[in-house]
């Protein structure tokens, strides 16, 4: 029973962080495209802003690993 709860907790840690990242990247990506159309020099900073939410998923993987370990 304990392993089942650990597995569920790890799955939730990855699943919820992946969902949150997808939502954030959708919002940031659409805003970034609008900003890049207006000012071409914003391409570099917008790529960084789109990549930042990926750290949420990495933290989700770390938490899932710590739960299962």
All structural domains of the chain, each given as residue ranges with its CATH number in brackets, are: 2-68 (1.20.20.10)
Between these two residues, 3 and 28, which has the higher pLDDT value?
28
Q: What is the pTM of this model?
A: 0.78
In angstroms, rounded to a whole number, what is the distance separating the alpha carbons of residues 3 and 49?
37
The residue among 47, 49, 60, 52 whose CA lies nearest residue 18 is: 60
CA 42 to CA 35: how far, in whole Å? 7
Q: Say what the pLDDT of residue 4 is.
A: 87
pLDDT tens string 56-66: 999 999 999 99
pLDDT digits (tens, 9 = 90+) for 7-50: 999 999 999 999 999 999 999 999 999 999 999 999 999 999 99
- What pLDDT is attached to residue 1? 67
């Amino acid at each position: 029973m304990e392993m089942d709860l650990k597995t569920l907790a790890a799955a939730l840690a990855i699943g919820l962080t992946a969902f949150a990242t997808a939502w954030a990247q959708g919002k940031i990506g659409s805003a970034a495209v609008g900003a890049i159309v207006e000012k071409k020099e914003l391409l570099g900073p917008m790529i960084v802003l789109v990549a930042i939410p990926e750290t949420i998923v990495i933290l989700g993987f770390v938490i899932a690993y710590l739960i299962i370990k």
